[in-house]
Structure 1
Amino acid sequence: MVWKILKLPKGKTTSDKKLVSAIQNIAGFTPSNLELYRLATVHSSIAKENGQGYKESNERLEYLGDAILGAAVADFLFKKFPFRSEGFLTEIRSRIVNRETLNLLARKIGVGNIVQYDQKNAHLQQVILGNTLEAIVGAIYLDKGYLRTKKFVIDKLIGPNYDLEELVNSNSNFKSKIIEWAQREGKDVRFEILNVKKGKNHKEFTAQVIVDNEPQGTGYGNSKKKAEQDAAFKTCEMLNLLTP
């Protein structure tokens, strides 16, 4: 598919203006090819077929953005920590780009204001924001190139939102954090899988943390482990266990 630069007419539609403004706020620049960013916001739950029978959603851009984001973060960490091991760099990168932190980051920078999805599915926005952020990274890469994308990742995502020193010294296993807290407090804790939804290409798990038979955080993911980590993360937020 050849991407064509979309020259916006003077009389832009309201949705065009809203999207341009949102990208300016999120990325710090005006998009050249607005159609890329529009596609980056379309979740598969509302995707419509084009003339070739292909459903146009942000999944391909998400795939690309996932790789570019990982490369940009790896590039940044490689230069930031010149004497640390490959294992250390891999662990820190995973803490920055894991599903829970990407969902939280996407919500913080305003991705939730522009993502388009089936709103009948009440919890869907909670699990697709990180994916949409990756799709936006993919759009930036196609629109502006790698160097501009890396600048966006460092200046707009990592710099303002991560304390690297704290990140290096923190425990990102939220499930372990909950279990350790429960042991200290003498509480009973368990993780339950509430639902498994089967899609065409993947499963979506819904997990919940139960503390002393009281439901706490609910999490979602494409594996049992990820759903439980998401539920544990949200429970940590509810119980104020993430504060230093």
Structure 2
Amino acid sequence: MCAEGVGYEFSRPELLEQALTHSSYSSEHGLGRHASNERLEYLGDAVLKAVVAEALMRMMPDASEGAMSKVSAQVLSGRTLARVARRLRLGDMLRLSHGEELSGGRNKRRNLAGAMEAVIGAVFIDGGFDAARGFIMRWMEREIAQAISEPLADYKTALQERVQAGGAGTVSYTTLSVEGPPHAPVFTVQAVINGRPASIGVGSSRRDAEQNAARAALESLESLESLE
């Protein structure tokens, strides 16, 4: 394991090794359940939430609880965590079973997000809260700032990023119908991924319908991924 790759020097390198050990690997090699990164992931999730909450209190001094919750949800989403994990190249360092490797486990969002949280948990155990905070802010401050400056979810951009993360792919939108009176039209739009119909969205404008179609497609992709 390359500790330099994650930007933190572990006094206990075995913690990083565990943080990058998928449950499929520990099962395949008879290492036992506690040898995987699941417990570190649980810890890292809690530490990450605390650090993000603290950062939002400082960076959003006039925001309501509801506004901070929306930003926090965006920062803590699997999509964001997987993106940061890719920047750290955690997928390349994961220890996976043969089957998980063949199924594309190094690029699965769930595996990447889990590894990111597990590494945070490992840093917390190794160096304490201050070390974990420093690690999180080093790699995720950009995501936090972006979520604050762009609080409204752009599902079309998120879908395009998600499709491209899985390899070459294109997303387009087709207007299926426009119904209702001129002053209150209802648009129905279909999202098409790599030439295949993916989802339907309805809205009072073409833009809203496209955003709703993109959101439905993202939810569908995430549901399928959770079953992998």
- Please state which band the TM-score falls in when normalised by the shorter chain: 0.5 to 0.7
C-alpha separation in 2, matches of 1:176 and 1:31: 34
TM-score normalised per structure 1 = 0.62
Which AA in structure 1 matches 2:4? Q
The alignment yields a C-alpha RMSD, in angstroms, of: 3.5
Aligned counterpart, 1:124? 105
Relative contact order higher in (CA < 8 Å, ≥ 6 apart): 2
Counting aligned pairs with the same residue, the percent is 24
C-alpha separation in 1, matches of 2:154 and 2:221: 9
C-alpha separation in 2, matches of 1:130 and 1:44: 14
Q: 1:166 to 1:119 in 2, by over 3 A?
A: farther
Q: 1:113 to 1:125 in 2, by over 3 A?
A: closer
TM-score normalised per structure 2 = 0.66
For residues 17-96 of structure 1, the aligned pairs below 5 Å read 19=1, 22-27=2-7, 29-47=8-26, 48-50=29-31, 54-96=33-75
For residues 76-225 of structure 1, the aligned pairs below 5 Å read 76-121=55-100, 122-127=103-108, 128-159=111-142, 161=143, 163-164=145-146, 167-173=149-155, 182=173, 189=190, 213=196
Aligned counterpart, 1:194? none
Deviation of residue 183 (structure 1)?
Answer: 5.7
C-alpha separation in 2, matches of 1:150 and 1:174: 31
C-alpha separation in 1, matches of 2:98 and 2:20: 14
Number of aligned residue pairs: give it: 181
Which AA in structure 1 matches 2:68? L
Aligned counterpart, 1:219? none
Deviation of residue 226 (structure 1)?
Answer: 7.0
Contact 2:124 2:131 in 1 (8 A): yes
C-alpha separation in 2, matches of 1:101 and 1:177: 13
Which AA in structure 1 matches 2:6? I
C-alpha separation in 1, matches of 2:132 and 2:158: 34
Deviation of residue 126 (structure 1)?
Answer: 2.5
Question: Which stretches in structure 2 are left out of the alignment for 5+ residues?
Answer: 161-171, 178-187, 200-215, 224-228
C-alpha separation in 2, matches of 1:135 and 1:230: 20
